[in-house]
Structures are given as structure tokens and as C-alpha cells.
Structure 1
């Protein structure tokens, strides 16, 4: 048996900030519904089926999601959590709903998505800052912990070694990282928790959690591919390769520039999964991150990245490789991190769609048991 945990995006409800930036009533669905194919056989647009274009202000949706996930072997959701400093939160309503109502009865934990929001992520030609992630210091770390304490104490909260799991999305962005980790651990002790299990993501390959105040890491191979090396895996036939070679000599590398690229970077999913898991074992807790699909052109248009021709069978192969990687771990740490449950505008989801239905979920259940 394996512990499958899936990232969960709480963006599917209007908030004043998004209304102001993008127009009244904006949610993730706004981008999903206007997506269009950008090259031959491009799988866009994508249509949700069973759950529809849901609104997370309706709490019944979260119950339906939890039931579906549980039926196919997902232990719990990792909710993205946004704390920008000085008490500023966004998209907190779904988490508050499950804390206040005690429903659904489904495990969860939190990922602090500590990243500045920029317009370019959503296809905006203006790459300017929408809201900045700040780190005001120790008092703010204490306030942040206090805000989350009721979640950490919830009996549904996911633990490793009996300790509540707290995933920090970008630990390298925290300027006083040791102060942060020391403060959070001290707060956990004072609150009577058995500790806290700090889990890092988006970190370099040689980033050792033990030396940085963390307990474990989530594989960051996908982030490396997405932000730095995707162009090296890009699909091309021999004629295209020759053309690009000539063009690059004459014009440089304009296709790599996000501002002028005429089509998204296209990487065959079958090829991509060969690079999404590490080749070596580590002497610290490492949990692989598996990707069922990726296509963020609904958000980013030609500036996006597409894992082309993902299929349920290839997804199962990817899962098998990840499961083999952690099968020797003790049961508590036989963990697979899935990115993601419902990031529809990034073409990165397990929820049923019009093309594949529940097939990705079915393959997951075959692997995790």
C-alpha cells in the first residue's frame, strides 16, 4: 500500500482581488473555458464532466471531490495555502469551510505557496506583480503558525511520524530560513504538538533538508524541467531540428523568449516522464512527485508548456516507477505526491474530463491499492 497525496487548488470561487485584476467573477474556469488548440492534435479545450464547472462556495463540491478521491486510493489533499505576510491571505475559504463544518471527513494538509503572484502566469502581457510575497520576520512567522494551529490540531490533518505535515513550496525564497524553521518548531512545541514535519519543494537537486531545518523534500524534477530545461526536451522532427539550428545561428534563440515565442514548448509525455523521477537514492526523506498531465496554455497561451499525448497507460507507467522508488520505505513514508487533483488551467488534474473520464483515477487505484 502507498500513501497518495494530491495537491489541491482552492481557486474556484470569486474573490475581490481577482475581480479587480481580471474582471468580475473571475475564477480558474475563466481561463479553462476560453482555451483553444494551438497546434495539430493539441488537446484543448478541456471539459470537466462529473463535477462540472464547480464553485467552491458550494460545500457539497468538496464532499463530492473527497468521495471520488477516496474511492480511487487518494489518502488526502494538500491544499495550497496563501499567506503573503502581515496576516494577508487569499483563497482561504475552502480550507475554512472544512475546518468550520468538519466536512468532508477526508484527510488534508497544507502547502504554503510562498510565491509572488505575477500577471504573466495568466497570459497577461504585463508581467508585473499582482501581490508580493513578503517575509516580515519572526513575529509574522508566529502569527502565521497561530493562524494554522486549528488546522494542525484537526484530527483529519495528515501526519508523518505523528507530526503534522507542513509543505513549504519555495524554501529558498525565505531570506531567514533558519529563523523560520526554528520559530515554527518552537511554536509547535509550545502548542503541545508532537512536533511538525517540514516538507520542502521547488529546491535544487542537491538541497539537503537536514542541513536546512527541514525533515524531507518533494521531488522538484518537474519544476526544473518547467522553468529551466524544457526546451531541451522539446519535440521536433529532423527537418524542424535543422531549421531551428540554422535559425538559431542567424537569429539567436528567440523561440526560448517567452515574449516572442509563436507556439508553446511541446514535450512528449512519454519522454517527459523519463526525467520526472531521480536516478539516485538519497540519505534523507525524499518523496517523488508524479505528474498525470500538463498543459498550461489555457493560462499562458503560446508562452506555455505542453506534455503532449499523455495517456492513462503512460500515467500508470510513471506511477509504477515512482512506487518502485519508495516501496522500500517504511509504511508511513511510502508516499507519492501527485501534482495535481484539480489545476485545470494548467491541464494538470485527475478529476474526470470529457476525453478520459475516470481512466487516470482507475490507473492510480491499480498502482496504489
Structure 2
């Protein structure tokens, strides 16, 4: 979108058509300034199919308030509304309503009492209470639901994932799969819900966090395509980031190639006065591979580097991985508490 199109799509007209048709009806009936109260609630906890949440975490209020501060009907907005036609070709939005939008619509006339972001909330209890003139509060409804519903869902999921991790660091890496720029809202909500970091660079800086990430399989594949290999890729990455080196070890074969090559590079880092940060596993039986990787790292004298797990992890998958590690790690001489 162009900047003007983005302003049009995300400004005052970031609402549903029926909010405007109802508001016009209220104006024409002289009802628009009646005091009104809207309570925002939700009916049930998120249902994930195999399991269901038992709580939600409120999120989205901050960006809703930002939207309210910057959203007013513009001349461009009003010109577009004036062009709407009914089924018979008459103007759908009539001049008195457009004049009211131009002169009377100001979201500072509305008050919102709401549960702070990051608090636990439950069904059928008000999360936000909107009070103000009927027509203005009506127009606000869609934006409020959009900002609060989505971020609350993401914050709730992040909280559950964090809880399942039992205090282990959680990194949000969902931007690439998010629906467009809603990925920014999702990253923000994940941090509210309990993620320690996000890979989303822009939102991290907006919120005062450091973005986190490792490298992709494509980096290893690039070096392989150019006649090098995994070890060369690891060496180049380690040379570039000697104090922040986390190597993705499953591009070829985790146990027979990735971890041994990582150990070689870690030894070179240590000889140069640096300590490696860790490795990442992104495929396969993550619990089994984490145990085997830990065994190899321990035997090579690297008990400290972390093992980052990724790939479609939700709270249930994390719970299952940790249970498997607890059951199987001791038989390989690996302390489950160290993973």
C-alpha cells in the first residue's frame, strides 16, 4: 500500500460498514448523543483441539489507545463515504451525517476502563468498559475488538508456552507465518504473554527489547552450493559473530555432521578467547536429538552452551519433549536439569 492507502485502511475507517450505517441511523433519529455503555467480554477460553486454555491474558489495549489518539475522520475519508451509493443509486451516507462526522466525532469523548495488559482474565467478565455518546462508541467497537481479541489470543498462547517451558527462555519466531503486518501485534502480544524475546526486529526496538535469532538452513545450503560445506558455513558464521554464536545443526545430519562440526568450531572459538552460546535443533525427534547433542557437547568439554529447540512448538509439544528428556536423558549420562 502507498502511505495514503495505509492511512485510509488503518485510520478512522478501520471499522465495519455496519458501524457507520448504525451511527447514521442514530444521528438521523437524534439518538447519537445518548449516553451508552458497551462491555467487552469473551465467551470461552481458546480451544486448541487436543487441549483447552483455562485462562486468558489481556493484551492489545496499548495499541488500541494509540489508534484512538491518532484517528479522526479526514477529508479523504469523508469524500469516500460521500461516494457510497444505495441499491437505487442514491447517496448511502447523507450530508448531515457526514457533517456530524466532520465536526463531532472525537474519541476523547469516550472513556475506557480496562484490565491492564498482562493480567489474567476469564469469560463473561468485562475486560473493557466503554462509555460515551452512543454513535461514537458504536463506531469504536470494531477497532476495539480487533486490537484486543487477536493480541489476547496470542498473549494467552505465549503464556501457556512459557509456563510449559518451566522457566526456560522462550523466543517468539512467528513473524514469517503471521497474517501480514498483524505479525507486529503478535510479536508484541507474545512479549506481554511471557516470551522473553522475539525475532521481530522492528517491534523489538519499538518496545525496548533486543531482537534474537540464530541463522537459517539456507546459510548452510548457500555454502554447500558454492562448493564448501557445513563446517565452512559454521566457521564463517562464528568468525562474524564470535561472542553470539548459535549454530543450526540439523541441515544435513544432526548427530553425525551438525554437532561434530559445531564442536570443531566451538574449539576454535575457545582457542581464540571466545565462548560459544549454543546450538539449535529445528527438526526430527527434538527430545532425543537434544539428549544426543548434550552428550556430545559434554564429552567434548562444552557443558555450558545452550540447546535451542524450534519447529511447531506449542505448550503440549514442549511438555512432551521435557517429559521425554526426563525419562531418557539419564540413560545417556545426561542430567535432564541441564537441558
| TM-score of the pair, normalised by structure 1 | 0.35
**Greater share of strand:** 1
| TM-score of the pair, normalised by structure 2 | 0.37
**Greater share of helix:** 2
